[in-house]
Every structure is written in C-alpha cells, then in structure tokens.
Amino acid sequence: MFNLVEKFESEIAKYYGSPYAVATDSCTHAIELCLRYQKISHATTPKHTYISIPFTFEKLDIEWDWTDQEWKDYYFIGHTNIVDAAVLWKKDGYIENTMMCLSFQHKKHLKLGRGGMILCDDENDRQALKRMSYDGRSFDSPWSEQNIKTLGYHYYMTPETAKNGLDVLPEAKKMTPRSWDWNDYPDLSKMDVFK
C-alpha cells in the first residue's frame, strides 16, 4: 500500500523539480518536522501568515519574533532554510538547498482535503524526515522487526490520500494557479492569543 505514497512523492518531486520529497499529513506537520530535524531554537514569521506557524513555534518552545515581511506564494521561515510554500503551485518551483513545505488542504491547488509534502535535495535529510514522519520506522520491513532509533511523530500521509493525489494530479497540472500573498491573511500579531 505505501508504494502509492512513494509514487506520489516521486510525482510531486518531479513536478516541482526537487530531487526528493517526503509526504506528510499536513503542511504544518511538514514544517514542524523540519524545525525538529534542524533543532531550530530561534525563528521569525511574517505577521500575515497561517496561524499554525506561530502556534508550532510555541509548541516546540522556539524563541520567535514577528516580521513585517510582504510575501507572494512562499516565504522563508526566518533564520532557516525552511520554506512555507503551502500556497505555491509551480512547475519547477523548488528552491535549491531548502526544505520546502507544501499543502494539499482543500483550499489549495491540489485539493486532497489534508496532506503535505517536504521537498529537499539531500538523500540523508529525506531518509531522516521520512522516518520522523512515520513513527521512527522505515518502509523496508515490518516495524516489529525493526530497531527504532529515531523519535517519530505519526505525521505520515496515508496511502488513500496519496492515491487521491495521483488521481487528481493530471488535472491539477493543467490549471493556472491562483497567486497568494501576505494580504490573504490577517495580522496575527493583533490577536489576543499572541499578546
């Protein structure tokens, strides 16, 4: 069953022009895995973004600050090579030497209801992030026969979601993507939860 996930990863990597891809259950969890993997202790985020980004910083006890950054289709999480590209749908859109995180939520270009992806160009990073997303396990043998060495987070994409992605991908590749920018989001710094 999980060969469907690997096939979907391969197709998304090919579309974006990325050497590798790791499927996850959401973009927020993709970003969280990258932050954990890189052991990020300080970061910044635009005031105008999706609310789960600063919530993730809080969850991971990362020191963070707001920026007044204006962005279009993606932005770098400050002080990292992690890219929040939740709204980017662009052939060959991968930026080298980054961990670019995508969203397949129902409002995005590839509408799977839920799902995400990490694009990267290092095989070791791919393997580590894949294990982290999959409870520390690998796909090469039953987990009961494995010696788990990596803390995992149960953030994997299901084969059913990957199959849906493979089914709708041909049509998604034909569409003209909507451009998103910072104006599509409220100023989170004004919300009581962050005061």
pLDDT digits (tens, 9 = 90+) for 126-137: 999 999 999 998
pLDDT at 145 over 70: yes
pLDDT tens, residue by residue, 3-47: 999 999 999 999 999 999 999 999 999 999 999 999 999 999 999
Closest to 99 in 3D by CA, of 135, 64, 63, 124: 124
Closest to 26 in 3D by CA, of 127, 158, 151: 158
Predicted TM-score (pTM) of this structure: 0.95
DSSP three-state, residue 116: strand
Residue 105's pLDDT is 87
pLDDT at 191 over 70: yes
User: How many Cα atoms are found within 13 Å in the side-chain-facing hemisphere of 124?
Assistant: 2
Across the chain, what does the average pLDDT equal? 95
* Neighbouring-strand partners of residue 103: 116
Residues 6+ apart with CB under 8 A from 117: 9, 12, 21, 22, 23, 24, 27, 30, 101, 102, 104
pLDDT tens, residue by residue, 77-98: 999 999 999 999 999 999 999 9
pLDDT at 140 over 80: no
DSSP H or E run through 119: strand 116-120
d(CA 102, CA 24): 9
pLDDT tens, residue by residue, 155-164: 999 999 999 9
pLDDT at 178 over 90: no
Residues 89, 20, 80, CA angle at the centre, nearest 5°? 75
Right CATH for 3-194 from 3.20.20.70, 1.25.40.10, 3.20.20.220, 3.40.640.10: 3.40.640.10
Look-up: residue for tokens 């995005």? 108
Write out the DSSP string of 16-51. Answer: HT-SEEEEES-HHHHHHHHHHHTT--EEEEESBS-T
DSSP H or E run through 103: strand 99-103
Cβ atoms 69, 83 nearer than 8 A: no
